[in-house]
Structure 1
Amino acid sequence: MKCPFCGKDNTKVIDSRPTDDSAIRRRRQCDACGKRFTTYEKVESMPLIVIKKDNNREPYDREKLTAGIVRSCHKRPVSLTRINAMVDEIETQIYNMGEKEIPAKVIGEIVMEKLKDLDEVAYVRFASVYREFKDVNTFMAEIQKILK
């Protein structure tokens, strides 16, 4: 591992410990300059392809998923920490399916299931975009599902 301060290759690990998001945090010290720094190791997972509604395929993008959930939670009492934890849960669920390609519809349904438990207003916001509500009746039908 190269030292970010002096650029030398000889560093040693002082401390290692797991983090909450299945990564390993390593404290390192450079043998040349003596400065300390932290690195994180995360298991590289297989690339996941998302099959869109129009059958186009694109690589899975965590940031895109997070942005959609953040938009639906706008001005709601939902912390970014909770949103990131929810995205971690969703990722774990879709990667555990063991598929290389996954329909966007499957991801959307998982997100809606999680949002329903997290915040009902955010759920309706996400559903209105995801399910492309065409009129008020469709919107009301979704709200009736929540009320049951």
Structure 2
Amino acid sequence: MKERYDNILVAIDGSPQAHQAMMEAVEAARRNNARLYLAQIVNDSGLLVNSATSVSQILSEEKKAAYEALEKEAAAIDYYNKQIITAVGNPKRVIAFDLPKTYKIDLIYMGATGKGALERILVGSTTTYVVNNALCNVMVVK
């Protein structure tokens, strides 16, 4: 375990576990005087589109909604050194690889969000993937 973390990422998906992870990430950021990144990833896989709406329009609207949700979460946090990130892509890969590379993340906080057993078998858990593949340490919050 590192003695000090400089850049902490918390992945937010709207679940109670993600909210708890965010609250714990805030405290870790305070202890380390670290930059806190609040991220929400718009999953673009399996996107179903009707002919009247373009994929780019749907993704743009989803990204805007994600940003607005993160703004509300960030406003409730009493911490000065924070940044909101929204991205489009596969959440597993974006959280485990893309964001840590781009922002020099050295600790990721995630909620242990539960999916149904069938979905977990077919899709796989984002948290499990990140824990096993991330480029940095991962803290899972229940």
State TM-score, norm by structure 1. Answer: 0.28
Per chain length, whose mean CA-contact separation is higher, i.e. which structure has more relative contact order (CA < 8 Å, sep 6+)? 2
State TM-score, norm by structure 2. Answer: 0.29
